[in-house]
Structure 1
Amino acid sequence: MAVARPLRVLGLIAIGLWVFFLYQLFGPTGSPKAPGEHVENMDRDPNLDITGEPEGVILRRADKGYAPGPEGTSRINATLLSLVRNEEVDGIVQAMRDLERTWNSKFNYPWTFFNDKPFSEEFKKRTRAETKAEIRYGRAAFELQLIPAEHWDVPSWINEELFQESAQILKENDIQYGSMKSYHQMCRWNSGLFYKHPALKDTQYYWRVEPKVHFFCDVDYDVFRYMQDGNKTYGFTINLYDAPASIPTLWPETAKFLAQHPEYMHENNAMPWVTDNKRRPDHNSKANGYSTCHFWTNFEIADMSFWRSQAYEDYFNHLDRAGGFFYERWGDAPVHSIALGLFEDASKIHWFRDIGYQHIPFFNCPNSPKCKGCVTGRFTDGESWLMKEDCRPNWFKYVGLG
């Protein structure tokens, strides 16, 4: 009997260790086993841990020839880009102040502002005060070039009565901005026309900046040179699900286009991310086969060569003629994202995890001493249900960290 008791104790200990091992391996509170594992219930997203500069980055700092003005500099052919109204001057000044403090004061890339109305003297004065870089519209600083009417106006093939009926339906379905014609015009312009503006005809890269956004982290390398040297096409920070009721025919129209142009599909595409039906099957069903995952385009750093490609030009024209920019609420975010996911090499799409960013109500907040003013790993300052809107885990699962 004296020998049996220690054996029983050892057996219980062994069972306990085995249970502990299984819990660590499969338990709900452990760290993610892979980049794509769901992280919404964690205190912070470990993918946001920063260990240094992006791999392969070539630094171009302020002491390496970055004086204001294009001559004698090593800058990439790029601009900071904003579609903004006069009444949004407070919001764009705040966004400029953040981005100049954290990044552009080191590199002095020019700013390009667009409006469908003339900019006021107050707007010009206040934005000029926020940067040492050029603020331009073409050949000269603040040369007045508005968005061409043919790029902004509702196209001739859109039926006004049908648009009004559709806008009412969108409003009844609580689709944000669905009844605002100017919002539909903006989405169409941002989807397929902004890069055709004369002020951008000789520009290759852009960083889109919207009013009231925040930037939290010091970034000490030239992101445009990183894009060029790394052969990247597109950079994002936040990746979300869209409202299916705003885009019910976007994927069916895309499928029609793919049937007509299978040659545009890239062999290393992100189709599984575009069509995933496991994490949010309700979205996939209501959007008729589209996961609704999209890059949140209020932040995007991109090479306009992709938008100017024949594949994207044909795709946009197909969608434009289908009418969904007005009869539904097709945004530039899902349109850009689907096109990138299908027609581009997925390895050329980069997650800028080190750029701290907020557009209410969502954040990209890295774990880095270079970041101030945001909570590490925090995704939203809204209601807890908004955590479900994060589609980055799907991107990491199907494509990787980038």
Structure 2
Amino acid sequence: MALPKSMRLLATVTLCIFFYMVLQIYKAPSTIEKQTSGKMKEWPRDPQLDPSGEPPEPLRRVEGDNYEPNNPNSARINATILSLVRNEELDDMLQSMRDLERTWNHKFNYPWTFLNDVPFTEEFKKRTRAATKAEVRYEIVPKEHWEIPSWINTDLFGESVALLTEQNVQYMSKVSYHQMCRWNSGLFFKHPALATTRYYWRVEPNVHFFCDVDYDVFRWMADHNKTYGFNINIFDSAQSVSTLWPETRKFIADHPEYLNPNNAIEWLQDKERRPENNEKAHGYSTCHFWSNFEIGDMEFWRSKAYQEYFDHLDRAGGFFYERWGDAPVHSIALGLFEDKSKIHWFRDIGYQHIPFFNCPNNPKCSGCVTGRFTDGEAWLNHEDCRPLWFKYVGMD
């Protein structure tokens, strides 16, 4: 017996609703819950990453002896692991070397380049050479790169130190810290020993790496046309960079041609999450890539846009009159002058620089707690700026 027309119509509608719901369930992205500002925030999984968290193919891995340290036809590209380190930080540097060698470099044997503003001791050289099969280089920072520039007014510098120290700006009274920030911002890639080097992985003393990484990260950067790789992304002390954004705006007003059409300016200007930072930093969110971990292409720093930007900031004096760090300077330049799609979050590299972590949900990781951001006080969780990066840029 044929069903009445009204019943056939109802059955058709019911089936349509059923298939529509199935389709929506199928299309819904999986999520990772993270706690942000006291609320549970869902971060979409990166569709470009497999469940292990690794970047997509092609991945260059060890095949036979293609990455052996003395292979003249090695698959290594023009890259180095780079560390600015003092002789007295030897034990902390060895800690970092052990972790990175164990998790990655014992497979790929990229050279280590150590830099210091004084000669390295024989003990430093002996013990660091023993920590790796790879080539190790020891270089001295040129004197002219480390000195306080002639245009810095020392009286004004002293007054600024007193003022910002009262405002609890960390390291403000350490001259060497200002020198280091300036050098890391605009001079490290000018070192004669790095003149022909393109890619670098910055590693500092007393950091930890937790995850086995079995692909060549430098070749991945080159294969995918990436300029910069970061791991942790946080807010800065607004008092330490009070005039950095106004000086940046002056530079952009004179050089609008350097702005990349696909920039990340929204991330740099966000004022919803930390409005007090934006106000004190005169329009800058203070979000920045924590540059104690960075994997980068030095051709960006050598570009005309960046060179002129650094020169402008250097003349403004904020590396000494305030405490401009290389992290916000690098981050602002990348966020304005580079295509944001060329900046990559290395979510699969487990890392800690006290007090912050990047700890992936990955069976290749051990020694850290999945999803943990800090081992410090609870308020430090609010320093995480990654949600804003994901909001405005994505998770590549």
TM-score normalised by length of structure 2:
0.88
**Which aligned pairs between 1:2-401 and structure 2 lie closer than 5 A?**
38=36, 41-42=39-40, 51-52=51-52, 53-61=54-62, 63-69=64-70, 71-137=72-138, 145-401=139-395
Q: 1:120 to 1:72 in 2, by over 3 A?
A: same
Shift in Å at residue 67 of structure 1? 1.3
Name 2:22's counterpart in structure 1: none
Aligned mates of 1:284, 1:326 — CA distance in 2 = 22
Aligned mates of 2:50, 2:380 — CA distance in 1 = 25
Contact 1:62 1:107 in 2 (8 A): no
Structure 1 SS opposite 2:64: helix
Q: 1:32 to 1:186 in 2, by over 3 A?
A: farther
Shift in Å at residue 45 of structure 1? 7.1
Name 2:15's counterpart in structure 1: none
Name 1:3's counterpart in structure 2: none
Contact 2:36 2:381 in 1 (8 A): no
Structure 2 SS opposite 1:112: strand
Contact 2:32 2:42 in 1 (8 A): no
Aligned mates of 1:381, 1:237 — CA distance in 2 = 16
Q: 1:62 to 1:265 in 2, by over 3 A?
A: same
Q: 1:33 to 1:130 in 2, by over 3 A?
A: closer
Q: What is the letter of the counterpart of residue 51 of structure 2?
A: T
Deviations 1:98-134 (A, max 9, x none): 0000000000000000000010011111101110000
Shift in Å at residue 69 of structure 1? 3.7
Aligned mates of 1:342, 1:237 — CA distance in 2 = 19
Q: What is the letter of the counterpart of residue 381 of structure 2?
A: M
Q: What is the letter of the counterpart of residue 347 of structure 1?
A: S
Unaligned runs of 5+ in 1: 1-30, 138-144
Shift in Å at residue 60 of structure 1? 2.6
Aligned mates of 1:133, 1:172 — CA distance in 2 = 46
Q: Return 169-178 or 262-271, whichever deviates more.
A: 169-178
Aligned mates of 2:309, 2:39 — CA distance in 1 = 38
Contact 2:69 2:135 in 1 (8 A): yes
Name 2:24's counterpart in structure 1: none
Unaligned runs of 5+ in 2: 1-28
Deviations 1:25-46 (A, max 9, x none): xxxxxx9979999486559977
Identity %: 68
Q: Give the number of equivalent residue pairs.
A: 365
Q: 1:113 to 1:281 in 2, by over 3 A?
A: same
Aligned mates of 1:365, 1:42 — CA distance in 2 = 18
Higher strand share: 2
Name 1:16's counterpart in structure 2: none
CA RMSD of superposed structures (Å): 2.1
Q: What is the letter of the counterpart of residue 130 of structure 1?
A: A
Contact 2:82 2:200 in 1 (8 A): yes
Which of the pair has the greater relative contact order for Cα pairs under 8 Å at 6+ separation?
1
Deviations 1:239-295 (A, max 9, x none): 000000001000000000000000000000000001001111110000000000000
